[in-house]
Structure 1
Amino acid sequence: MIVTVTVNAAIDKSYFVDRLEPGTVSRVPDIRAIPGGKGINVARVAHLLGEPVIATGFLGGHNGRFIRTELDRQGITNDFVAIEGESRVCLNIIERGSGRSTELLEQGPATGQEDWSRLRDKIRQLARGASVVAFSGSLPQGAAPDAYASLMEAARAEGARVFLDTSGDALAAGVAASPDFIKPNETEVERLLGRPLGPESELHASIRRLMEDGIGCVTVSLGAGGSLAGIGGELYRVTVPRITPVNTVGCGDSFVAGMAAAVRRGLSMEDSLRLASACGTANALTRDAGTVDPAQVEELLPQIRIDRL
């Protein structure tokens, strides 16, 4: 079982327009609205890959009911903690010709200590027998920076591996709890280290340092250039095929889902990176964030190149 945790869930609404001109009226001929938030994206992709998955986290208000109803319709098992307030809407405006994306992200509802206590109990229950518990996305209002660290400890106490995909203070505090997997970008690595990175060799050294601090797998996204990954003390360069992206939102979440699926399947390090990268690339070929076509994932797998550095 894979458990995903989304503490700041959203309705992901995509507007597909011919061209976005700031300060003018734009007609929207095509609209998509799906359950979102990074952890929900992870759950959806894992489900599409055929993995048993359950999504949890916080949901509130009318938007929360929409999210729950749509997850049920998609066949994604979910068990969220209900909170006061309204779950957020995240708007992505995509120009159909250029593919250029503009995102507007609401902050989301505030949370209290009682909410976090109930979620911790929920995670402890769901983590029993789970292969992976993946924590993804930003923290909501009222959350302490170490909120993820506390939840990860609860999941690990039940024997699950813990993944963390967040940023800023939440990432810095979470890293101190030594998750089994993190996926920062170069800017986030710089913030973790407290200094800018120079040559790529410094990024290599930074990944090795994070592994030495107890993090089993560190992957750093390089966008269209693939990624650098450190697993079990070894460093790898991952090269992905060139594609014409349709929608890049959710590619990182799809990568996380592929890695979680790989852990559950017991794949080798290199095959884990290959599956995760194929999922991230396949997401960019779809209109919806956090969605892959399993057939495309299979087609992409042999096109992913893994080189040990």
Structure 2
Amino acid sequence: MILTVTPNPAEDLTWHVDRLRPGDTHRVDAGASRAGGKGINVARVLAAEGHDVLALSTAGGATGAGLAEDLERSGLRHVLVPVAGETRRSIAIVDEASGDTSIFNERGADLSPVEAADLLAEAARLGRAAAVAVISGSLPPGLEPDAVAALVAELIAAGVAVVVDTSGPGLLAAARAGATVLKPNRDELAAVTGESDPVAGARVLLDAGASVVVVSLGAEGLLVLDATDAARGIRARLPKPLHGNATGAGDAAVAAIAAALAEHPELRAPGGGPDDPDTTSARIAMARRATAWSASAVLMPLAGALSPEHAALEADVVVTTLESQESA
């Protein structure tokens, strides 16, 4: 089973406009609304691909009630921890002319100390029964990075692979707790490490204690570095970028990483390094799938879904190593 933990869920609202003109009034078709937040998006992708997944999150206020109703309608297996604060909203405006998406994320209401403790306790309880746990998205006020790091360390000690996709101090705290995989994007990595080069930034997180770092590079694909030999990183990309709604691209990549960890125990074993042929093969396959799933999500109107083309895209992914690039 794969558990996804979304500390700061949202009602995702999406509108498509022919052309976005700042300061103008736009007439648009009806927008779409669905339960969202990064971990919920990850769970949607995994469930659609046939994986046994459980989504854990919070819900509060009228927005939280709507989120709960949408999850019930979707059939996604979930557990919601009730909170007093209103569940936030996330607004995506897709410019059809340029292919760009503008996103407005509310920060989210504060969690009380009791609410934060309840969420972490439920994550630990459910996580111990999982093969893989994914902690994904921003941390709401009141949920401290050190508390999330303690959860990561507890699950790692219980033999659970832990994937963390967050930003800021929470990312570095998860690295120090020994997360199995960290999945920042280029900007998040630079902000927390001070390194503009994603290879150098990934190595900072590996040195801090993470086992694997996967860096989303947008249209350039992704980078995978392993703590056992950071010199032999993997780069994976499509021959040409795809244009569309990139809102759920990173979440689709995280879903692919979680699926690979669930399917390949050698990726979860701390001793499996790049000299192990099984581990190397599985890691390349993970990089291919993460790249293809991320790209296929761009083709979909809403986050949390893959295009039917994702299998074909996976065959097109180009994989190289840092060693081969440096010697070229």
Question: TM exceeds 0.5?
Answer: yes
2:184 match: secondary structure? coil
Counterpart of 2:20 in structure 1 is 20
Counterpart of 2:304 in structure 1 is 290
Superposed counterparts of 1:1-309, under 5 Å: 1-193=1-193, 195-197=194-196, 203-231=198-226, 232-233=228-229, 234-266=232-264, 268-293=282-307, 295-309=308-322
Instruction: Write the distance in 1 (CA, Å) between the matches of 2:24 and 2:146.
Output: 42
Amino acid at match of 1:290: G
CA contact (8 A) 2:167 2:188 kept: yes
Distance 1:22 1:204, change over 3 A: closer
CA contact (8 A) 1:11 1:90 kept: yes
Instruction: Write the distance in 2 (CA, Å) between the matches of 1:63 and 1:134.
Output: 24
Instruction: Write the distance in 1 (CA, Å) between the matches of 2:172 and 2:200.
Output: 18
Instruction: Write the distance in 2 (CA, Å) between the matches of 1:254 and 1:205.
Output: 25
Q: Deviations over 1:115-154 (max 9, x none)?
A: 1221122112211331111111111122223232122233
1:119 match: secondary structure? helix
Instruction: Write the distance in 1 (CA, Å) between the matches of 2:102 and 2:321.
Output: 36
Amino acid at match of 1:24: D
Q: If each structure's helix is expressed as a fraction of its own residues, which one has the higher value?
A: 2
Q: Deviations over 1:276-308 (max 9, x none)?
A: 111101100111012113x32211111112112
Unmatched 5+ residue regions in structure 2? 268-281, 323-328
CA contact (8 A) 2:172 2:205 kept: no
CA contact (8 A) 2:174 2:210 kept: no
CA contact (8 A) 2:165 2:183 kept: yes
Percent of residue pairs bearing the same amino acid type = 35
Q: Deviations over 1:77-126 (max 9, x none)?
A: 00111100210111111122222221111121210111122112211221
2:158 match: secondary structure? coil
CA contact (8 A) 1:60 1:82 kept: yes
Kindly state the Cα deviation for residue 209 of structure 1 after the two structures are TM-superposed: 4.5
Q: How high is the TM-score relative to the length of structure 1?
A: 0.92
Amino acid at match of 1:303: D
Distance 1:22 1:210, change over 3 A: closer
Q: How high is the TM-score relative to the length of structure 2?
A: 0.87
CA RMSD in angstroms, aligned pairs only = 1.8
2:51 match: secondary structure? coil
Instruction: Write the distance in 2 (CA, Å) between the matches of 1:211 and 1:145.
Output: 18
Instruction: Write the distance in 2 (CA, Å) between the matches of 1:277 and 1:216.
Output: 20
Unmatched 5+ residue regions in structure 1? none
Alignment length, in residue pairs? 303
Instruction: Write the distance in 2 (CA, Å) between the matches of 1:74 and 1:308.
Output: 40
Q: Deviations over 1:139-197 (max 9, x none)?
A: 1122223232122233334321111111112212222212111112333333333x343
Kindly state the Cα deviation for residue 66 of structure 1 after the two structures are TM-superposed: 1.6
Amino acid at match of 1:249: T
Instruction: Write the distance in 2 (CA, Å) between the matches of 1:153 and 1:240.
Output: 35
